[in-house]
Every structure is written in C-alpha cells, then in structure tokens.
C-alpha cells in the first residue's frame, strides 16, 4: 500500500473516536513516527542514492497559549539506507546509511476554520515552522573502483530549518487531552561536509578528499499528543438533562456551538420537552434568555445571545407555544454560568435558558 493511502487509512480509523479538538493550553507532550524520503545527494562527482523510504521519529515538549499559538522543542532522528553510490558517474558501491539527528525549536498555530462553515468538531489543522541544528552522519559507506577502495564515515552538524503541516484529531472519548496527529514535515540544512578517505589501492585522479552534498527531507508522520490541561468536552454540555427548578418554576438549558446560533438536534429535543411542559403545566409566562461566553467582543456577544434567544423562541412557536406567551431577553456575556477570564471559550456559557412560570 502506498504512503498516502496508509496515512488516509489511519485518519479514517481515528475518526470514530474523535471528539472536538480545541486549541491547546498549557504543557503538552508529542511523539510521532513515519517515513522519510530524500532526494539524491551529490557533490564533486560523488552521488548518494536512497531510493527506498527511510525511518523518522520525533519527541516534542511544548506549551499551548490557549489562543491557537504553540511553542515547542523537538528531538528527531531520520535514517535512510544508501542503496547506490556513484563516483565519477560510475556505480561504485551500495552500502552504509545517511542518518540525521535534530534538535529544533518550533512555533505552530492551530487553525480555526469555523468562519468558513467548517467547525472544529473532529479535526484541528495546524501550520508550523522551526529552526535548530541537525547532526548529519554517513555511516560506513564504501566505494570500490577497480583495485581502489574509498570509505565515507563522518559527522557534521549544521543549521537546520523546517516547515510543518498537520492536523490533530481529538481522542477525548478515550482519554481527555489525547489526540492523534498526522503531519508532513520538510526539513533542510546547510550543506554538510564529509571526508572521503582511501582505504586500499592507488589514488585515482579526480577523486576529491571530501564533498558537500545537499540535505533535504520529506517526512510523513503519525503520532500522539497529550495535553495536560485539556479543555472541557463540549459534546457533554448539550447532553445534560434539563435542570428542574423547585415547585412551579422549571428551567431548561439549550447549548450552542462556539460562534453559532443554529439549533442542534439535542437542542431541539430540549425545546420540545419545554414546550410539552408548558402545555401540560399551563404556564402563564415563558422566559427565554440568551447568553454567550467571553471569547469575543462584548457587543458581538450581545448580538449573538439575542440571535440564540430568537432561534429558541421561534422553535417554541413551531412546537405550539403562542408568541405572546414568550418574553425574550439577551444578556450577552454578563451572566455566565461558569465564571471565566476574558477571551475564554466556555461551552456552558453558550446557552439559552427557558424558564416556565
């Protein structure tokens, strides 16, 4: 099976376990492994071919700022077998490996696509860049032309840079804070310098004592990431049972997705229960109050809470409640169910309260 099909299959397997992925806040750990592909490396007549994909693995320790930005440090390893060595255009060997050991600092940003109608329900794509150092090592590569033998066994550290494109898929149903990740990474370094030593036979004219091949890598990885301070599971809020107040007052809570005022299937079920109770108890007054969390400007949240309250009132009328029985109010972010800092996303504050009196 090809590499792209392997990645796609892994994502499809992860999808049934996925829950809402949200920007990381606080400390997290990550690990990944996969395939590393490298183009032909050459300089001064020496060519290294690694046609088969090699192995890559990495570990990372990072900090999420809660607003989409993350910073991390990373250690990585890449190994590709050298399956053909060419010297002066002549095939001269097929041994050794080209290894890379990196220490990088990365800056990443988790994308929020809800403005395009793509909610973060199961996936959180991200982009990143990094810089650091990579130790380039050629292990025991041997060349033979006639009776003359050469060997490359050298290490050279160089400045490294990388670009990252990936997506996290939340596995909160398995463990809160756990995500599976799928990534593509491009890693490059300044040209490393390797020595070419003669091991047997007479020296050949035109053979250099060293060479500086290019070094670029294309890596495909699957991994796991664990955040030690996971956000609340948003899916749990709409499933909460209606809150029943004492005696003649009954309260029902309808929850909304972030920055949305449309009704979910669970929200419609709660409104249906409220409408049925209003008819059964012969309520004389139905109060519908809209609320928002503190993740946006106050004036925007005020308007959003009004749209949410009107959406609930419209559904109540559709369920048989007369519009004259309904009193609609909007409180924006001023009356949170759960107190939070300004800018925080809190699922339980994105709600409409239906009170039957």
Q: Which two tokens stand for residue 158?
A: 């160089």
CATH number reported for the structural domain that contains residue 262 in this entry: 3.30.1330.60
pLDDT in tens, 31-90: 999 999 999 888 888 888 888 999 999 999 999 998 889 999 999 999 999 989 888 888
What secondary structure letter does DSSP report for 19?
B
Domains in the chain, number:
2
Same domain, yes or no: 171 and 297: no
Instruction: Confirm if 287 and 295 have CB atoms less than 8 A apart.
Output: no
Instruction: Confirm if 46 and 196 have CB atoms less than 8 A apart.
Output: yes
Domain holding 238, by residue range, is 234-356
Tell me the pTM: 0.59
pLDDT of residue 240: 61
Same domain, yes or no: 39 and 142: yes
Same domain, yes or no: 166 and 241: no
Phi and psi (nearest 5°) for 89? 85, 0
Same domain, yes or no: 320 and 246: yes
Q: Which two tokens stand for residue 283?
A: 């309520």
Last residue of a domain, one of 227, 254, 280: 227
pLDDT of residue 115: 67
Same domain, yes or no: 193 and 333: no
Same domain, yes or no: 75 and 188: yes
Same domain, yes or no: 200 and 274: no
Last residue of a domain, one of 192, 227, 262: 227
109: Cβ contacts below 8 Å, ≥ 6 apart:
68, 69, 70, 126, 127, 128
What secondary structure letter does DSSP report for 268?
H
Distance CA 243, CA 253 (A): 7
Instruction: Confirm if 78 and 219 have CB atoms less than 8 A apart.
Output: yes
Instruction: Confirm if 237 and 256 have CB atoms less than 8 A apart.
Output: no
Whose structure tokens read 């004592």? Answer: 209
Same domain, yes or no: 206 and 273: no
DSSP letters of 251-296? EEEEE--TT--SPPHHHHHHHHHHHHHHHHHT-S-EEEEE---SSS
pLDDT of residue 15: 41
Same domain, yes or no: 76 and 222: yes
Same domain, yes or no: 219 and 97: yes
Instruction: Confirm if 140 and 150 have CB atoms less than 8 A apart.
Output: no
Instruction: Confirm if 89 and 53 have CB atoms less than 8 A apart.
Output: no
Last residue of a domain, one of 165, 195, 227: 227
Same domain, yes or no: 205 and 263: no
pLDDT of residue 4: 42
* Beta strands, E only, the chain: 25-37, 41-43, 46-49, 54-65, 69-81, 84-87, 90-93, 97-110, 123-145, 148-170, 178-189, 194-195, 197-200, 210-211, 216-227, 250-255, 286-290, 326-330, 351-356
Same domain, yes or no: 84 and 131: yes
CATH number reported for the structural domain that contains residue 53 in this entry: 2.40.160.20
Instruction: Confirm if 178 and 226 have CB atoms less than 8 A apart.
Output: yes
What parts of the chain have a pLDDT lower than 50? 1-8, 10-21, 119-121, 234-237, 245
Whose structure tokens read 């840079």? Answer: 161
pLDDT of residue 244: 52
8, 34, 49, 111, 264 from 11: Cα distances, Å: 5, 14, 31, 18, 26
Distance CA 92, CA 70 (A): 47
């Amino acid at each position: 099976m090809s590499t792209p099909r392997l990645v796609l299959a892994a994502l499809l397997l992860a999808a049934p376990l996925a829950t809402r992925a949200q920007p990381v806040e606080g400390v997290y750990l990550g690990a990944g492994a996969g395939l590393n592909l490298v183009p032909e490396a050459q300089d001064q007549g020496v060519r290294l071919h690694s046609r088969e994909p090699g192995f890559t693995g990495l570990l990372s320790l990072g900090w999420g700022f809660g607003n989409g930005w993350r910073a991390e440090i990373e250690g990585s390893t890449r190994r590709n077998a050298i399956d053909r060595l060419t010297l002066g255009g002549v095939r001269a060997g097929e041994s050794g490996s080209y290894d890379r050991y990196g220490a990088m600092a990365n800056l990443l940003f988790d994308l929020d696509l809800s403005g395009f109608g793509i909610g973060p329900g199961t996936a959180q794509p991200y982009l990143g860049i990094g810089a650091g150092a990579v130790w380039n090592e050629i292990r025991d590569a041997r060349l033979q032309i006639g009776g003359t033998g050469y060997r490359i066994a050298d290490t050279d550290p160089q400045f490294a840079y990388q670009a990252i494109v990936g997506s996290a898929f939340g596995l909160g149903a398995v463990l809160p804070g756990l995500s599976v990740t799928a990534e593509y990474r491009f890693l490059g370094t300044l040209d490393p310098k390797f020595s070419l030593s003669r091991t047997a036979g007479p020296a050949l004219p035109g053979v250099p004592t060293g060479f500086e091949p290019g070094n670029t890598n294309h890596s495909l990885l699957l991994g796991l990431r664990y955040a030690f301070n996971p956000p609340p599971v948003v899916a749990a809020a709409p499933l909460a049972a209606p809150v029943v107040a004492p005696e003649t007052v009954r309260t029902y809570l309808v929850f909304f997705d972030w920055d949305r005022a449309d009704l979910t299937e669970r929200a419609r079920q709660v409104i249906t229960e409220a409408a049925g109770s209003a008819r059964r108890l012969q309520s004389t007054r139905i109060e519908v109050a809209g609320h928002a969390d503190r993740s946006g400007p106050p004036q925007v949240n005020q308007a959003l809470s009004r749209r949410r309250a009107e959406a609930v009132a419209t559904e109540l009328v559709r369920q048989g409640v007369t519009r004259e029985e309904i009193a609609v109010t909007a409180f924006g972010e001023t009356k949170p169910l759960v107190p939070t800092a300004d800018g925080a996303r809190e699922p339980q504050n994105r709600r409409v309260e239906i009170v039957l009196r």
